Amino acid sequence: MAETETLAEQLKGCVEKRDFEGALGLVRGNLEELKKSPQSGAVKDALKKATDDRLLQSYVDGAGFGELPLDAALVRLEKLISFQVGSLVLNRTWGVGKVKKVDYFYRRVTVDFPSRRGHQFTYAAAADMLESAPDGHILVLREVDPAAFESLLKEKPGEFVKRVIESNGSSMTLVRLEDYCVANGFVKGVNWKKFWDTARAELRRDKCVVIPARKSDPIQVTGAAEDYGDVWLEAFSHETDPKAILAAVREYVAQGKLKAADEAVRAKIEDRLVFAVTAARKVDDALYARLACTVAELGFARPTAKEMRDYLWERKRYVKAAAALPSREVGAMISFLACDDAAKAKIYAAIPEFCFAAVDEIVKRFRDDKSREGEAEVWPCRKAVGDFMKETQAPATLTTLIAGRIEQFGEFEYADVEVDGKKIRTLKGYRLWPELPPISAILAHAIALGEGRRSGETLRMQNLVRRLFGDKAWLEKMFSLLGMNSTADQVLFFERFQASIAWDPSTHHTTVVRMAKLVPELEKHIVKVEKKREYARLTSYRSFGLRKQEYLKLINEDMPENVRKIEFAKGFGDLSENAEYQYAKDEQRQLMQKQTLMQADLEAVKPSDFADATTDEVMPGVTVVADTKDGEKVWHILGEWDNDPELGILSSKTRVAQGLLGKKPGDGFELPGADGGVAFATIREIRPLPDSVREWMKLPAGVQI
């Protein structure tokens, strides 16, 4: 109690002398004592009376004494005091700004940002959203010394990146670093890779910077170069994060420290790796694989290689691990697992399940492995690849790999031919692995892969194959290979691609034309496709009436209600920081966009009973009976807004209906599957709509058009 009374007397003395700094210092130095009793009101009064400066008094009023905890109010007050006119401040969104004006009457701080001039903050918002810009910050350097900023950026990109990271703490992921540099205009997005490659080479020589193996892990800037002495070893011995343990061991090895380490140090590193491997079990298969490879590579006896391999073999964890590993680490895992012929056989058998990077590594590492079966020599890897490629549906990863890198799968002979005074390297002859099917069969698999909708890794392979077909040089090579046997293979390839109905139409047409230009003899094999018939934009009376009812509700109820919300929100004050007002205005924009679209649709689409529909071909207003792999399917094709899965009613805009329109009995069509793939079905019959569907199409009671 005596201490509180003494403090009160000291504050009173500061008030009498109008010593604001002294009063603020007393509060700051005796914060713990003041927090023991509700002193916020008294502190606020003392600080206000300790100065005649209206600006300081307004800061005290706006700091939140009595509303916030005393320490939080004091932090806010000291922040506000630092926002002097002309001082530089930082905002996460807009970067560095300069305080232009402080209005003590309205309690506003006005800041000029490069992209947002004259932005006003309330005192509370300024304290929450702004920070005084530190002298060493990269954005401050650009503001106060543009020449030094440009020199650092262009001449020392590594030092520049280090400065950026230090300005944002001590670590940043590569993705965040790129976003920050591009968003602030330091580097253009298209130039980032070149800039980062140069900066990384420089940073790797800086012992104060740690660049992780994985892009998702942060780049760290340390205060001083790590000496990997007793302090590092003690911290490492207590590390419990498996990822951090792996990163630390790899960095330790990269610095060449493990070679000179004594047995005690090696034992501690081995213990931590044992802990990390155990912690990664059943949690992260990819991390487990990385740790297992590191343990084996460094020659530690624990955990045993057999134990770690057995874990990865279980439930095919190695397949999941390969999909999640960085591409450069997949090969290490494959080599670790392939300890004998039986293990390699397991790996070959799993080729269809592996990701592309793993399949590529398997082929590169084991393509030349030989063994004996009786008197004959065999190549197990090549045999496995050939067997898979001879199946009806070859693995997407293998198809993409072989089609894109065909020279890796055989012996190719080239010769230089002089054309118009220039030497051109041309294909003279080739011989694929004897285990593989002919080039024409491989390309047939590639065409099939490019068809329909895919998902996951198969979708990625499909995109790669489609890019191949769009590559003129690749097409030239494929036609050259096909033409070495006979022109019939070229024609077969061309006709197979031309007959494919599941490629994107514009891409398909462009590729067909390009093929015909590469091999002019194919021109006569082009099939002229009739332009698909266009149908009037119709829908049933039922769907039209319900859509119009929804439109009337929008303009008569939803939009007026939104206007009331806007007017109500205006009463909350400053519109620039009024969340309710902003939400209501956003909703208004959405409602207006919806109203425009619905009005345009109601004008373009007409109600119909489809009485004029005929059964000569599939069109809106008919029933289709089709034979699919799952048996008979019946669909009733109606207008744009009609849909009722239980009755089998399909909108004419659905993928299934679009594939059926214009077709006749006996025609095939593409049927999308639930898994994203496609199947092919045949139209058996086209019928008039049944009475149940015609009853469904009628205008519901109480609904008007």
243: left (phi over 0), alpha (psi -120 to 50) or beta: alpha
Provide the CATH number for the domain around residue 155.
1.10.10
Q: How many residues does the chain have?
A: 705
Residue 4: the pLDDT is 66
**Cβ–Cβ under 8 Å, residues 94 and 116:** yes
Tokens of 178: 């790129």
Cis amide prior to 303 (ω within 30 degrees): yes
DSSP E strands: which ranges in 45-183?
Answer: 88-91, 95-103, 108-113, 116-122, 131-132, 171-172
Examine the fold and report which residue of 330, 360, 389 is the final residue of a domain before the chain moves on.
389
Indicate whether 639 and 670 sit together in one domain. yes
**Cβ–Cβ under 8 Å, residues 544 and 705:** yes
Q: Residue 304: which residues within 8 A CB-CB, separation 6 or more?
A: none
| Residue 83, burial from CB neighbour count under 10 angstroms (0-12, 13-18, 19+) | buried
* Number of domains, the chain: 6
Is position 241 within any domain? no
Indicate whether 186 and 295 sit together in one domain. no
**Cβ–Cβ under 8 Å, residues 277 and 292:** yes
**Cβ–Cβ under 8 Å, residues 635 and 624:** yes
Q: For residue 119, what are the β-bridge partners?
A: 111
Give CA angle at 251 (247, 253), nearest 5°: 120
Is position 238 within any domain? no
Tokens of 222: 């340390």
Examine the fold and report which residue of 82, 117, 148 is the final residue of a domain before the chain moves on.
82
Tokens of 447: 């065409």
The packing angle between helices 146-155 and 157-167, to 10°, is 120
Residue 226: the pLDDT is 63
* Pick from 50, 44, 56: nearest CA to 14: 50
**Cβ–Cβ under 8 Å, residues 181 and 187:** yes
Indicate whether 661 and 553 sit together in one domain. yes
Q: Residue 271: which residues within 8 A CB-CB, separation 6 or more?
A: 237
Tokens of 471: 């590559």
Is position 244 within any domain? no
* DSSP per residue, 509-554: HHHHHHHHHHSGGGGGGPPPPPPPPP---EEEHHHHHHHHHHHHHI
Indicate whether 559 and 694 sit together in one domain. yes
Provide the CATH number for the domain around residue 684.
3.10.50.30
Indicate whether 103 and 66 sit together in one domain. no
Residue 294: the pLDDT is 93
DSSP 8-state code for residue 90: E
The packing angle between helices 2-17 and 20-29, to 10°, is 160
Examine the fold and report which residue of 498, 525, 552 is the final residue of a domain before the chain moves on.
525
Long-range contacts of 422-431 (CB under 8 A, 24+ apart): 426/480, 427/477, 427/480, 427/481, 427/484, 429/484, 430/481, 430/484
Amino acid symbol at 373: E
- Edge-to-edge order in the sheet of strand 95-103: 116-122, 108-113, 95-103, 88-91, 131-132
Indicate whether 674 and 550 sit together in one domain. yes
Indicate whether 683 and 565 sit together in one domain. yes
Indicate whether 557 and 690 sit together in one domain. yes
Is position 243 within any domain? no
φ and ψ at residue 468, rounded to 5 degrees: -60, -45
Residue 45: the pLDDT is 83
Q: Could you give the 3-state DSSP secondary structure of residue 18?
A: coil
**Cβ–Cβ under 8 Å, residues 7 and 33:** yes
- Whole-prediction pTM: 0.55
Q: Residue 115: which residues within 8 A CB-CB, separation 6 or more?
A: 94, 95
Tokens of 360: 């590529």
Indicate whether 150 and 294 sit together in one domain. no
Is position 422 within any domain? yes
CA 434 – CA 438 distance, rounded (Å)? 9
Q: What Cα–Cα distance (Å) separates residue 362 from each residue in 3, 354, 391, 401, 402?
A: 78, 10, 19, 11, 13
Residue 532: the pLDDT is 62
Indicate whether 149 and 203 sit together in one domain. yes
Is position 642 within any domain? yes
Is position 15 within any domain? yes
**Cβ–Cβ under 8 Å, residues 546 and 643:** no
**Which regions in the chain score pLDDT beneath 70?**
1-4, 35-41, 213, 223-227, 419, 501-502, 528-532, 571-578, 674-677
Indicate whether 20 and 70 sit together in one domain. yes
Q: Residue 452: which residues within 8 A CB-CB, separation 6 or more?
A: 502, 670, 672, 677, 678
Is position 577 within any domain? yes
**Cβ–Cβ under 8 Å, residues 489 and 517:** no
CA 199 – CA 160 distance, rounded (Å)? 8
Indicate whether 565 and 657 sit together in one domain. yes
Q: Which domain holds residue 292?
A: 271-389
Tokens of 173: 């992921």
